[in-house]
Amino acid sequence: MDTNRDDFGIAIRSAFLSRGTQQRFSLFVLLLISIIFLLFEKIETKPLNYSRSIIKDVIYRGSFLASAPTVGIKKIISGISKHIKLYEDHAKLKKENSLLKNNILQSEYYKLENQQLKKLIDESSNEEVDYLTARVMLDKRSPYLNSFVINSGSNKKIKNSMTVLDDGKNFIGRIVDVNFFSSRVLLISDLNSKIPVIIEPSGTHGILSGRGNRNVSLEYLPENHKTNDGDAVYTSGKEGIFKPGIPIGEVKLTKEKIEVLIYSDLSQISFVNINLTEFNLSK
């Protein structure tokens, strides 16, 4: 019995404490460093934040370079498939274009009407928004976080919690991690994402929650809510983090949940707009 215990101890010691052949570090030391790293993650001090930013920036650039061949091949394949579908897409886009032209005229009319009504009730509106356009540098579809990395950081005055919109100005997420030359955008589809929203035309308030995959659903709605298929979902501006009225998607009722079909295709985003103004205003 004692011999067995001794053998076990020797084997454990040999595996974790000894450096072994051609190993510069013992496992135990590296495990200890990993634990220290994890503990330091919670500590926010300037030197630590600087070092974290430098490490992240370097790795992001390295990852961008390392994945360049794969991204290139993917682009070629997608280019070929787009060419194959060219005629089909053209016909579809022609139809959509005429429909959108009608919608633009209608929305111009609503805009004017809205401005006049605002004047009537003396509501001052500040429509000037300062957007920063950034390119998506890394989109690795992490199994843990639905997020991507953009090529602008604190060098372009980006700060945590800023709103991120797609090129059509639809809401897609917020900034969660800022480095010197890069930032991470947490998408609305992520499990950690909870956005206060308003559903129109009923005016019902709720919380839009990510589910880890590319779907999002509505939660915390009042008991007798009147939400229908196709209702539009906008940011409500509650909690003062995001500007109200940014379009997100439309409601799709299923048996178990109230899902939201996001206007933006989160897997196809190359450029994003970051709202720099609203953060400064709220501060």
Partner 1 sequence: MPISYQQTKFNLFSLLPLLALFYISLNGITVLNINFFSINIHYILVYFWVLRQPKSLGYGFIFLSGIINDVVFGLPFGTSPLSLLTIAGVAAYVRTVTVRISLLNDWISFLPALLVANLINFSALYFSDYAIDYFFLFKTSIFTFIFYPILWIIFRLLLNLMKN
Which spans of this chain sit near partner 1 (rule: CB under 8 A)? 7, 10-12, 14-16, 20-27, 30-31, 33-38, 40-42, 52, 55-56, 59-60, 62-63, 66-67, 70, 138, 140-145, 147, 176-177, 184, 190-192, 212
Helix (H) or strand (E) holding 243: none
- Residue 23 and residue 29: Cα distance in Å, rounded? 12
Distance in angstroms (rounded) separating the CA atoms of residues 246 and 269:
18
User: Measured from the CB of residue 60, what is the shortest distance to partner 1 in angstroms?
Assistant: 7
Termini Cα distance of the chain: 68
* Shortest spacing between CB 217 and partner 1, in angstroms: 14
Q: Measured from the CB of residue 174, what is the shortest distance to partner 1 in angstroms?
A: 13
Least Å distance, CB 165 to partner 1, is 20
Helices 27-40, 2-16: axis angle to 10 degrees equals 60
Contact at 8 Å (CB) between 229 and 217? no
Nearest approach in angstroms of CB 112 to partner 1 is 44
Phi and psi, residue 147, nearest 5°: -155, 170
- Residue 40 vs 109, nearer CB to partner 1: 40
Instruction: Measure the CA–CA gap between 176 and 170, rounded to whole angstroms.
Output: 18
65 vs 91, beta carbon nearer partner 1: 65
Residue with smaller CB distance to partner 1, 192 or 227: 192
Specify the residue, 22 or 270, whose C-beta has the smaller distance to partner 1.
Answer: 22
* Shortest distance (Å) from residue 103 CB to partner 1: 37
Q: Are 246 and 233 in contact (CB under 8 A)?
A: no
145 vs 165, which CB is nearer to partner 1? 145
b/e string for 225-250 if b means 16 or more Cβ within 10 A?
eebeeebebbbbbeeebbbeebbbbb
Nearest to 276 by CA among 92, 86, 133: 133
Least distance CB 272 / partner 1 (angstroms): 16
Q: Which is nearer to partner 1, 15 or 112 (CB)?
A: 15
Whether the CB-CB separation of 259 and 215 falls below 8 Å is answered with yes
7 versus 167: smaller Cβ distance to partner 1: 7
